[in-house]
Amino acid sequence: MQITVLGGSPKGDDSVTLQYVRYMQKTFPDHDYNIFHVARQIRKLERDDKVLQDIVDKIALSDAVIWCFPLYYCLVCSQYKRFIELIFERKKGEAFRNKYAVSLSTSVHFFDHTAHNYIHGICDDLEMKYLGGYSAEMYDLVRSRERARFVQFAGNFLKFVERQVVRGKAGSGGEAISARRVQRICL
């Protein structure tokens, strides 16, 4: 499957949160992960619409999107918010419609819920199929129990999307699943 990762840390490749995606890539290598550091690149995305359009085109071809972000001051960082604004301002929301989505954060667990609720709301506005969120503490990846929990979440997410994509292609009603059932499967 094609998974697009929207990186929401101004640190780009050095982001702690991104290391969770890297771990997911290692654990589930049979998928293509297209990673975009949209928060880090925000000035370029504002200036050059072609760079933004390339990301949007990749999303249009994806099976699912991972909103991957750290908590900064009880929310996502301003650069990530600006990226979301650009999607609406430049009328690029269509690419997101009907895509499966999860949110993934790292933090010190202070007001994570506000950021996940915000991203959930954005997914609803974009008519995405939001499957739930994973809120990691920034050092969880070095704890075996937390790593296992994360792998379970990521595995359920990938398995679930894969099943829907296969069903959708076979035309047997993959679209019709209720949001409540989706959340139960994923979380």
Ligand X SMILES: Cc1cc2nc3c(=O)[nH]c(=O)nc-3n(C[C@H](O)[C@H](O)[C@H](O)COP(=O)(O)O)c2cc1C
Could you list the residues that contact ligand X (CB under 6 A)? 9, 11, 15-17, 70-74, 106-112, 138
User: Measured from the CB atom, is 88 or 139 closer to ligand X?
Assistant: 139
* String of DSSP letters for 138-153: TTGGGSHHHHHHHHHH
User: Measured from the CB atom, is 10 or 132 closer to ligand X?
Assistant: 10
Instruction: Confirm if 128 and 96 have CB atoms less than 8 A apart.
Output: yes
User: Measured from the CB atom, is 28 or 72 closer to ligand X?
Assistant: 72
Instruction: Confirm if 166 and 149 have CB atoms less than 8 A apart.
Output: no
- Residue in 67, 132, 149, 72 with CA at minimum distance from that of residue 107: 72
Q: How far is the CB of 116 from ligand X (least distance, A)?
A: 12
User: Measured from the CB atom, is 76 or 182 closer to ligand X?
Assistant: 76
Q: How far is the CB of 29 from ligand X (least distance, A)?
A: 22
User: Measured from the CB atom, is 108 or 166 closer to ligand X?
Assistant: 108
Alpha carbons 58 and 61: distance in angstroms, whole number: 5
Q: How far is the CB of 143 from ligand X (least distance, A)?
A: 14
Alpha carbons 156 and 153: distance in angstroms, whole number: 5
Q: How far is the CB of 19 from ligand X (least distance, A)?
A: 8
Angle at 37 between CA 182 and CA 91, to 5 degrees: 70
Q: How far is the CB of 64 from ligand X (least distance, A)?
A: 20
- Residue in 103, 121, 122 with CA at minimum distance from that of residue 112: 103
Amino acid 123 reads C
